[in-house]
């Protein structure tokens, strides 16, 4: 049985945040939501979540990268998933497979939005070692 862990979700799309929040809650986690990078930073200054899911493009095109960087500075052991539609929207492709990738992208996973519920649960469980 899982301890009730907390997942912080930061996304400027309220529909996507609602959907992903419901899924994460159905996995047995507490969910805290923020509607952008600034609100996400305010929450991170108050609590240490067990895992974070950040959108990439919010106030700016790199908001998720900036938020991930700041989170890792405060809490280096907190796993971060960046869920994004950047490839679909811009054609740009990011990966966090090599040490070089991870040196500037402070995320543990980069997932393309539209992720299946079972895949999301599997990725969260892997990152939290459940």
Q: Which residues contact 9 (CB under 8 A, 6 or more apart)?
A: 17, 20, 21, 24, 31, 32, 33, 34, 52, 53, 54
Q: Quick check: 6 and 29 in contact, CB under 8 A?
A: yes
Q: For 34-75, how does the pLDDT look when each residue is reduced to its tens digit (9 = 90+)?
A: 999 999 999 999 999 999 999 888 877 778 888 999 999 999
What share of the chain in percent tops pLDDT 90?
57
Mean pLDDT of the 76-92 span: 73
Q: Which residue has tokens 């992903």?
A: 20
Q: How far apart (Å, rounded) are the C-alpha atoms in residues 92 and 123?
A: 23
* This prediction's pTM: 0.83
Q: In which band, very low, low, confident or very high, does the pLDDT at 103 lie, cut at 50, 70 and 90?
A: low
Which residues have C-beta within 8 Å of that of residue 8, sequence separation ≥ 6?
Answer: 32, 33, 34, 40, 43, 44, 47, 49, 51, 52, 53
Whether the Cβ atoms of residue 17 and residue 2 lie closer than 8 Å to each other: no
Q: How far apart are CA 49 and CA 31, in angstroms?
A: 9
Encoded tokens for 55: 């959108």
Which domains are assigned to the chain? 6-116 (3.40.50.2300)
Q: Which residues pair with 69 in a beta bridge?
A: none
């Amino acid at each position: 049985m899982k301890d009730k862990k907390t997942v912080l979700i930061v996304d400027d799309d309220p529909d996507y945040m609602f959907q992903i929040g419901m899924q994460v809650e159905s996995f047995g986690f507490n969910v805290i939501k923020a509607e952008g990078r600034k609100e996400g930073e305010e929450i991170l200054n108050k609590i240490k979540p067990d895992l974070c899911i950040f959108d990439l493009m919010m106030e700016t095109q790199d908001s998720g990268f900036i938020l991930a960087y700041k989170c890792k500075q405060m809490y280096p052991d907190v796993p971060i998933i960046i869920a994004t539609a950047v490839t679909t929207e811009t054609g740009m492709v990011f990966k966090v497979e090599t040490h070089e990738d991870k040196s500037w992208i402070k995320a543990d996973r980069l997932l393309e939005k539209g992720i299946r519920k079972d895949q999301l649960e599997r990725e969260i469980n892997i990152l939290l070692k459940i």
